[in-house]
Structure 1
Amino acid sequence: MFNDLYFKYQPRYYNGEISSYEALLRSHIQNFNVEEFVCSIECAASFDLNIIRKVLQDRKSLSIGDDVSISLNISIASLLDDYFLDECLGIFEYEKNITLELTNHDQTDDFDNLQNSILCLKNKGVKFALDDYGKGYFNTDMFLYLDIDY
């Protein structure tokens, strides 16, 4: 299954120039629902670490400069996982211009630990965004208190 997945890098423009890219997960399989697939992942932290590593590898092979930001989606559950946080602290010691977009595929009431994880990664230069919040009837009120950039 994973061999059928790849990324499309959607440019974002500001004043007529590419300012950043968003890594969009896609599949070669017809009628494949990426969102359903991601929601079915049991170990979000391991999956998201592999996604981060793949996007950073692609960035080098596609000659997207380190000065151009790339954003990618991760699960809230990953930020609450100690192994994920430790690995990211090591990765983002050297890799810069990354925005992690939190998706609303999962929910939490553990906002203190979520905020602590966000602050640890922000200290390494990582930016954060909320992705697709407000879609459906998801309550975003508590997320407004997190230290999110976008």
Structure 2
Amino acid sequence: MDHIQGLRDEIGRFRFEWDDKVFRLGVSFGVTELHGGMVDIGEILAQADTACYHAKSLGGNAIQVYEKTHPALQKINDEMQWVGAITKAFEAHRFMLYRQQKVALSPDASTSHYEILLRLRGEDGAIISPGEFLPAAERYGLAPSFDRWVIRNFFAYLDTHPEDEASYAINLSGRSLSDPGTAEFILDEIGQYHFDPARISFEVTETAAIDSLDSCEKLILALKSHGILFALDDFGKGQSSFGYLKRLPVAYLKIDGEFVRGMDHDREKLAIVKAIHTLGHELGKQTIAEQVETEAELNCLEEMGVDFVQGYLLHRPAPLLVN
């Protein structure tokens, strides 16, 4: 370890100049201990790679020794296992589209609204929720592949099911928001099919929108001209501010389920939901409450005047019948 620390310190002392500016280097190390029972070079490199990922997540310029029982390393290792499983699942066509209804509370609403969800069918046939595999996809840059797969397959569904006149929301990852080719890809896909693009909208998390504010604004404006709307998902969970809301012409604020759950007996949660709903309406945006699971929560939201509600109480996610 002394040798590794010395190497890190020596690299840290190095400086170089470019355009009259001085730069320094940092380096992260992942270390695994070799012993007599280790014969698989792939396993050795995987352990070192896992430790290095954790070292970088600590802010860089760090050294992490691989420990099998280390919680953070176990999590990274599990995610790395998912990368291979995801690749196999794509090749075996085991990803599926589900949908969950967003119920309009206004009696005047005539159009059905749904959110498109992604599910994975395991090798044993069990349905796996995205919470298990999407963190790995996001960490290792696979999320845009999921986004594009969902868009391609769902647009094909709309084209072949003209009897389905509902409106649908599709999730976009932060990586897709920052990709300058996303708008062109979506519009090219729309051009291949025959359906009204105004029937679709995209949901982006508040945190991802803030992290890619300029790119997000350009994407929303590019698609809005074709009638495509946007929603800010998990609103209230991130760094809510009036400044970025003025820049992003979204049509919906989706109230994070963390505040909705238990709001009927938690005054603080009730106040937060009411504040977000009031803010949304004052800015001309409709509000959606997610993860509604009890009649008491639903009654609070109805009294408040929230526009849409979504959750297991009203509709559980179900497969989109593609065929």
The partner residue of 1:13 within 103, 107, 113 is: 103
Matched letter for residue 184 of structure 2: D
Structure 1 residue corresponding to 2:157, chosen from 58, 71, 87:
58
Normalised by the size of structure 2, how large is the TM-score?
Answer: 0.40
CA deviation after TM superposition for structure 1 residue 110, in Å: 3.6
2:224 maps to 1:122: yes
Q: Who is 2:189 aligned against?
A: 91
Q: CA deviation at 1:52?
A: 0.7
Q: Distance in 1 between matches of 2:111 and 2:101?
A: 6
1:39 counterpart residue number: 135
Matches within 5 A, 1:63-74: 63-65=162-164, 67-74=165-172
Q: 1:108 to 1:78 in 2, by over 3 A?
A: same
| Structure 1: gaps of 5 or more residues | none
Structure 2 gaps, min length 5: 1-88, 253-323
Say which SS state the counterpart of residue 55 (structure 1) adopts.
helix
Q: 1:115 and 1:68 mapped to 2: Cα distance?
A: 26
Q: Specify whether residues 90 and 18 from structure 1 end up closer, same or farther in structure 2 by C-alpha distance, changes over 3 A only.
A: same
> Higher relative CO (CA 8 A, sep ≥ 6), structure 1 or 2?
1
**Cα deviation per residue 1:92-131 (whole Å; 9 max; x = unaligned)?**
4564111100135746534123211110111111110122
Residue 144 (structure 2) pairs with residue 144 (structure 1): no
Structure 2 distance, partners of 1:107, 1:37, is 22
Q: Where does residue 28 of structure 1 map in the other structure? A: 121
DSSP-derived class of the 2:187 partner: helix
Task: Give the secondary structure class of the aligned counterpart of 1:82.
Answer: coil
Give the structure 1 partner of residue 255 of structure 2: none
Residues 76, 108 of structure 1: 8 Å contact kept: no
> Contact (CA 8 Å) 1:92, 1:125: kept in 2 or not?
no
Q: Match of 2:211, SS? A: coil
- CA RMSD of the aligned region, Å? 2.7
Distance in 2 between residues matched to 1:24 and 1:55, nearest whole Å: 10
Residues 1:131 and 1:63: Cα distance change in structure 2 (over 3 Å): same
The answer to whether the 8 Å contact 2:100/2:115 transfers is: yes
Q: 1:99 to 1:12 in 2, by over 3 A?
A: same
| TM superposition score normalised by structure 1 | 0.77
| Aligned mates of 2:207, 2:152 — CA distance in 1 | 21
In the alignment, residue 169 of structure 2 is paired with which amino acid? S
Is residue 75–residue 105 contact of structure 1 (8 Å, CA) maintained in 2? no
Return the match for 2:233 from 109, 131, 134: 131
Q: Which has the higher strand share?
A: 1
State percent identity of aligned pairs. 29
Aligned pair count reads: 147
- Tell me if 1:100 matches 2:220: no
Matched residue type, 1:37: F
Q: Which has the higher helix share?
A: 2
Q: CA, structure 1 residues 143+6, in 2 after alignment: closer, same or farther (shift >3 Å)?
A: farther
Of 79, 87, 94, which aligns to 1:4? Answer: 94
